[in-house]
Structure 1
């Protein structure tokens, strides 16, 4: 038994030595060919080395640029959040045009373009217009109501009419209060982004506008929250 294991180890060692010799022989053959034909192939060898170095350097520069740009965007966003932050109590104290400017500034902070406040009498249901970061056009209705008043279903439908009137891709309703049940259902069923008071707080604290779409139709508190709300404001 021991002799058999010894023969196996010897055979394995011989195979390894044979592979090493074959590899060394092949390596020497390659070196010999390179030396023999160096005068012909050296430009190609140098070209491959230079190309590899340039490709590696370009990839490193690209990765470094992406890292720097990403860090810069995060820093600018955090700085914009800190500079434009308002408490909801301060927002509640704003006049209508101030609230519209506040919403427009939040849009610009999040990378929206062509943002302009258009709210006025006969505004066709639009207070702010512009483009989302992905290029889609948006129309925004802003309602700075007292906390105890709710957004009605008819107000959401007016915004849908405004979306059709302006040919906007996305309709957004931003308010300092909450939506009634029918109004919230109407908004979600028709693709309107309903930014109620809780979501406005998230947006004001740094959440990006596009991310609010992921929680559309949620929030507005549970039963206990609504009971405390009524005790406070009604």
Structure 2
């Protein structure tokens, strides 16, 4: 029912999206460094539930709602752009720190770790775009079972994203130590991530494509 082209296509798109620095990566890394790998894994569980929420909503007609109420889509898009811009400012401002720089932060409870992982993912515009416009392009309308195709392809995206994010969360501490011994690399990483996030914010805010083709 689902062709190899669709599986490979969704896998490639998912890999490219998850490797692009964004809110999910920043939150998972920060929790893993400041509170340990267990905190990173718990946060990732919240992110996973966020994926499932988007997957279910997209397959059950959220795109139709956005198309019918473009103001709602615009509000969600601008909120995501503002969130990205705020993260970019935190990275680029004078005295800003890298996502891999150790910070003294109070430990969060298990419930808060999970909740913040969930909220961070739900406010991630990359994920909204993924489910509302990218994955549907790989669905074959002539193959039937469109809803099932959507959930299977979404499941592939979730598997790829969780595998990569888990590896990043588990390795965050090692990466932090490596960069801490190389302050120039740490600054480069901070400016690079801040620039990418800022560019994403501008692109998202200025994109005039409607919900159906965003």
Q: TM-score range by the shorter chain?
A: under 0.3
Find the structure with the greater CA-based Rg: 1
In terms of fraction of residues, the more helix-rich structure is 2
TM-score, normalization: structure 2?
0.24
